[in-house]
Amino acid sequence: MTPPLRPELAGLTVYRRDEALYRWDLSDNTNLFGSAPSALAAVSSWAGRSPSRYPTAGTDHLRLALAEWLGVAADQIVAGCGSNDMLDAAMRAFGAPGSRMAYAAPTFVMASHFAAANSLDVVVVPTPAGGEPDIAALIATGARVIYLATPNNPSGRAASPGAVEELFDRAPGVVILDEAYTEYLGSSWAAVAAGRDNVVVTRTFSKAWGLAGLRIGYAVGAARLVDEMAKARGPYKVNAVAEQAAAAAVENDRAWLAAVCDQTRQARVALGASLKGLGFAVLPSDANFVSVLVPDARRIATALEARGIAVRAMVGVAGLGALLRITVGPEPAMAALVAAMAEVPR
Ligand code: PMP
């Protein structure tokens, strides 16, 4: 048998999205309420234009729009192909082959994937069930890179400000704070990160802005750090259409964003109450999804699929066990889900 090319990748799987069509796809935490309208207009305005030239190398239009919105300088921002790309670039920029990357488990699976793909040694720090991430244990790893998602995926919970500040102040290396869902929380550490020399905050247009298909994410931090990420990322990761669409959204659609987040929060509260009413154990969430602890997640997910509803089933989740992660969406989707959950054998 030929030896594997990269033994450290042996445990990783190729990410493939299940393209099966469901009546309601509540599996990927994208915005089921829609997309930023100015972004859609920008995409339409591209019709007929030639893409024969490269996009801008510096993504300056988007970075200027983001800088004004976030209250930071444009050179404290780097953009890329989704926040996945930003996480990958950050692991490469701040880690070195064989150095440690520590994260609070359970969390977004791609963090450890990108660490391993960049030959970092992954150190898992369990989060006490239902509690705060163990900041002291994360710091004690001595890791060159520490990853923390807030609000977290799959739990949905935001870390307390005290926990985040302690991590920022005492981390032995660089902190990557993943804020993919922070628009739903309504606050961000981006401006704080820009004023420090050891933190980058990653954010995305894939969730609340409703632009996952355009693949745009960004990171905010000290210019010295985001410059290193830009080198590790490589050029032209944000295509020209995506840049114009995202910049237009930031310039024109902030009221839309606030309204859609508000609508999502209300729907999340209603969904949580309905599922609790059926006797399910629903985790508290600050994001656009809720996780439900169930003994047999796969069986229930399959039963939901038979009813035309896709959710994300996870098993063996550290400290939580098996769960269903369900994206919050408009009323008809929520009604269909709750009706199906009332029927499925538990
Ligand atoms: N971080 C977290 C916590 C996520 O849940 C996701 C998407 N599932 C991402 C990052 C990546 O999102 P994107 O690459 O679309 O920005």
Whole-number Å distance, alpha carbon 94 to ligand 1 midpoint, is 19
Cβ neighbours around 317 below 10 Å, total: 18
Whole-number Å distance, alpha carbon 17 to ligand 1 midpoint, is 14
Whole-number Å distance, alpha carbon 30 to ligand 1 midpoint, is 9
Enumerate the H helices of 55-189 as residue ranges. Answer: 60-70, 82-94, 109-117, 135-140, 161-170, 182-185
Judge whether 205 and 66 are in contact, CB under 8 Å: no
Nearest atom (ligand 1) to Cα of 83: 16
Nearest atom (ligand 1) to Cα of 107: 3
Nearest atom (ligand 1) to Cα of 216: 16
Residue nearest to atom 2 of ligand 1 (CA): 180
Instruction: Report the alpha-carbon distance of residue 111 to residue 197 in Å, rounded.
Output: 21
Whole-number Å distance, alpha carbon 321 to ligand 1 midpoint, is 22
User: Ligand 1, from 85, 153, 285: best to mutate by most atoms within 8 Å of Cβ?
Assistant: 153
- Please give the C-alpha separations between residue 141 and each of 55, 112, 121, 134, 319, in angstroms, as whole numbers: 41, 15, 11, 11, 20
User: Ligand 1, from 17, 108, 109, 205: best to mutate by most atoms within 8 Å of Cβ?
Assistant: 108
Residue nearest to atom 1 of ligand 1 (CA): 180
Cβ partners under 8 Å of residue 47, min gap 6: none
Mean pLDDT by 10 residues, the chain (346 residues): 77 72 92 98 94 92 98 98 98 97 97 96 92 96 98 97 98 98 98 98 98 98 98 96 98 98 98 98 98 96 95 94 97 97 91
∠279-21-327 over CA atoms, to 5°?
Answer: 40
User: What per-residue confidence (pLDDT) applies to 5?
Assistant: 80
Whole-number Å distance, alpha carbon 180 to ligand 1 midpoint, is 6
Whole-number Å distance, alpha carbon 16 to ligand 1 midpoint, is 15
Q: What is the pTM of this model?
A: 0.96
Instruction: Report the alpha-carbon distance of residue 215 to residue 75 in Å, rounded.
Output: 21
As annotated, the residues of the chain forming the CATH 3.40.640.10 domain(s) are 37-252
User: What per-residue confidence (pLDDT) applies to 1?
Assistant: 67
User: What per-residue confidence (pLDDT) applies to 19?
Assistant: 67
Enumerate the H helices of the chain as residue ranges. Answer: 37-45, 60-70, 82-94, 109-117, 135-140, 161-170, 182-185, 190-194, 223-233, 240-252, 254-277, 297-306, 331-343
Residue 121: strand pairing partners: 100
Nearest atom (ligand 1) to Cα of 87: 10
User: Ligand 1, from 204, 237, 326: best to mutate by most atoms within 8 Å of Cβ?
Assistant: 204
Instruction: Report the alpha-carbon distance of residue 224 to residue 227 in Å, rounded.
Output: 5
Angle between helices 297-306 and 331-343 (to 10 degrees): 120
Q: List pocket residues of ligand 1, CB cut-off 6 Å.
A: 29, 82-84, 108, 149, 153, 178, 180, 204, 206, 212, 217
User: What per-residue confidence (pLDDT) applies to 36?
Assistant: 98
Nearest atom (ligand 1) to Cα of 152: 3
For the segment(s) 37-252, the CATH number from 1.10.3210.10, 3.90.550.10, 3.40.190.10, 3.40.640.10 is 3.40.640.10
Helices and strands in the chain: count of H runs, count of E runs: 13, 13
Instruction: Report the alpha-carbon distance of residue 1 to residue 96 in Å, rounded.
Output: 30
Please enumerate, as own/partner, the contacts of 331-334 that have beta carbons within 8 Å and a separation of 24 or more: 331/267, 333/24, 333/26, 333/32, 333/309, 334/267, 334/270, 334/271, 334/274
Whole-number Å distance, alpha carbon 140 to ligand 1 midpoint, is 27
Whole-number Å distance, alpha carbon 70 to ligand 1 midpoint, is 20
Whole-number Å distance, alpha carbon 288 to ligand 1 midpoint, is 12
Whole-number Å distance, alpha carbon 84 to ligand 1 midpoint, is 6
Judge whether 179 and 220 are in contact, CB under 8 Å: no
For domain 7-30+255-343, the CATH architecture is Alpha-Beta Complex (3.90)
As annotated, the residues of the chain forming the CATH 3.90.1150.10 domain(s) are 7-30+255-343
